[in-house]
Amino acid sequence: MSKNLYETDYEVGQDNLEKWGMDFHHPVFWIASVVALMFIVGVLLAPEASKGVFDGAKWWSIGQFDWLFMIGGNIFVIFSLVLIVLPFGKIRLGGASATPEFSKISWFAMLFAAGMGIGLMFWSVAEPVAYYTGWYKTPLGVEANTAEAATMAMSATMFHWGLHPWAIYAVVGLTLAFFTFNKGLPLTIRSAFYPLIGNHSWGIFGHVVDVIAVLATLFGLATSLGFGASQAAGGLEFLFGIENSITSQIAIIVVVTAIALFSVLRGLDKGVKILSNVNMGLAGLLAVFVLFAGPTAIIFMTLGDTLLAYIMNVVPMSNWMGREDEAWMQGWTVFYWAWWISWSPFVGMFIARISKGRTVREFVIAVLLIPTLVTLVWMSIFGGSALDQVQNGVGQLAGGLGKVELAMFQMLENLPMAELTSALAVLLVLVFFITSSDSGSLVIDAITAGGKVDSPAIQRVFWVMMVSVVAAVLLFGGGADALTALQAAAITVGLPFTVILLVMCVCLFMGLRHEYKYGSKK
């Protein structure tokens, strides 16, 4: 491998166009914007037909390529774990003299909030209850509503929110951070492929990869914002009797957007970082309350049982051949893997953006192992409390999983100070959405600016508004069908990106080996 492998004449922003006070990458910005506009118009004109088309594409991808998603997920976990123990682990992102921009607590708070904070609020109660009661099949074919089903429900939930999704984010985040901070390449997805295709990364291939990344991020954020507005509105209806209508959902989007705009204009250090720290503090407060107000002894038992069951079942659940629960595997596991992968350009790039100065080993431990342990504790507290209520016939959850967006509130209803904790849960949902909107908009902005991280403020405002407008327009014009079509389109993107991530592993290994031998370009 040549010492000059990363010598390139390409400069960040050389293909950019400055217009209307913005500084954007000429082909990527226009192509992504036009395709997004065409897609939205099509969905609005025929929401039901669009839902059918994209649902069909999603389930075809999942049904035909479940093996690819499963193999890919396993490779990402193994690859990430190996990086911890290899000598490459001591390489520092940004070079030997680089120092971290953020404290460890703020760094972790931002990466966790961007990665899946909102999902934990949504599914930490609903998912274990769904598996236990057989709401949609059961994992590994266990009989529903049994002691074995309870243990398996927690194990399967951890499987979907543990090592595998965080390994996906770790691969993308570490690859982009390494090539940006150590090799001087732009902070865009295309930079990951420079070791294999050289300057072709700045051509048509690179444009296509970056456009897909922009669309996946835009559609994923808009979908989450739309469905999240529905969950928050459901919580307000549950608490205060305010009707969960299109009007209330769009009002929530407007409020979230206004705060997100204020935050994104303040930048990472004074905006996203502060909100992420607030997020983690509020989430910790809610978790501690449920731990001691709920069935404390059972929660601690659930914690140990879930960890053991996760270790014992991670291999059987990672297998894709001869599964008696194939419908469950495709409907849950493969769906999740496709969703995490479709989100990986956004989350991975944001994690890369905030990780300069960390060593490779420190990065992987913080992005892979620590979030998995935090998720284990969170799921044990909320999932364990919910299953205890179901098993003892307490509250609405005992009658089965109804509206998924209300599951968290139905669990909290049977604990002390239910109105206060439910209000805190609604606030957490909203703040998690604000941080996701912030971080996602910064990522889209960086990609469409050709890898620049200091583009004009108006450009960041444009993308915050774009995500919110897409969510609001689809909610108003097409309702749940339009959002489901958008979600299906985002998940379908997970198929080609699985291949892209596998190639990323190869490129990252090549880059780390080059760095270990020759040092940084800078």
End-to-end CA distance of the chain: 18
- Pair 477, 483: CB distance under 8 Å: no
Q: Which amino acid is at 108?
A: F
Residue 11 is assigned to a structural domain of this protein: no
Between residues 483 and 134, the one the model is more confident about: 134
Residue 4 is assigned to a structural domain of this protein: no
Range 465-471 average pLDDT? 82
Residue 33 is assigned to a structural domain of this protein: yes
pLDDT, tens digit (0-9, with 9 covering 90-100), for 280-319 = 889 999 999 999 999 999 999 999 999 999 999 999 999 9
pLDDT, tens digit (0-9, with 9 covering 90-100), for 345-375 = 888 988 998 999 999 999 999 999 999 999 9
Is pLDDT at 329 greater than 60 in this prediction? yes
Residue 1 is assigned to a structural domain of this protein: no
Residue 6 is assigned to a structural domain of this protein: no
User: Would you place residue 2 in the very low, low, confident or very high pLDDT band (cuts 50, 70, 90)?
Assistant: very low
pLDDT of residue 117: 66
CATH number of the domain to which 55 belongs: 1.10.4160
User: Would you place residue 1 in the very low, low, confident or very high pLDDT band (cuts 50, 70, 90)?
Assistant: very low
Residue 478 is assigned to a structural domain of this protein: yes
Distance CA 349, CA 342 (A): 12
pLDDT, tens digit (0-9, with 9 covering 90-100), for 98-113 = 999 888 998 888 888 7
Domain holding 461, by residue range, is 16-518
List Cβ neighbours of 503 (8 Å cut-off, separation of 6 or more).
192, 193, 196
Distance CA 91, CA 111 (A): 20
| Mean pLDDT of the residues in the chain | 86
Number of domains in the chain: 1
Structural tokens at position 392? 């003892």
Residue 5 is assigned to a structural domain of this protein: no
* Residues linked to residue 18 through DSSP beta bridges, in sequence order: 23
pLDDT of residue 459: 78
Is pLDDT at 425 greater than 80 in this prediction? yes
Residue 57 is assigned to a structural domain of this protein: yes
- Pair 100, 108: CB distance under 8 Å: no
